[in-house]
Structure 1
Amino acid sequence: MGQFVNEDVRSFCQGQLTQSQLPASPRDLQVQVEQLTQLVEGIAARMSEPARKGFWQRVFGK
């Protein structure tokens, strides 16, 4: 039973690996990082100033 499961899992994994896409090019990765950076910067720009303070600064008001 264990050998059957091992063979079944192995064949499934091999099938998934042969069907997978090629790794992304460095340019594709750079574009994704730039998009994420813009997203984070946009969110940070919309945050109010008190929300930017650390937890303890907000609690004690310093």
Structure 2
Amino acid sequence: MSPEPVLVDIYAAHLATGIRPGTLRVRLHRGTLTRHGHDHQGRALVDLHELQPDEQPAPA
């Protein structure tokens, strides 16, 4: 079972991942990133789980 989606706008996704908002918009347009509706200001919502790698970094 997949975890609950963490829905954020593309600007919050940028802050969390470092992926530029323009890149996220392109991925939304191409369909490689799922759009989960819009917030009250009309910004696209994305799931942070789709943007973060599945692998955990090895402990130092």
Higher helix share: 1
Q: Establish whether TM, by shorter chain, passes 0.5.
A: no
TM-score (norm 2): 0.23
TM-score (norm 1): 0.23
Structure number with higher relative contact order (C-alpha < 8 Å, ≥ 6 residues apart): 2
In terms of Rg, which structure is larger?
A: 1
Higher strand share: 2
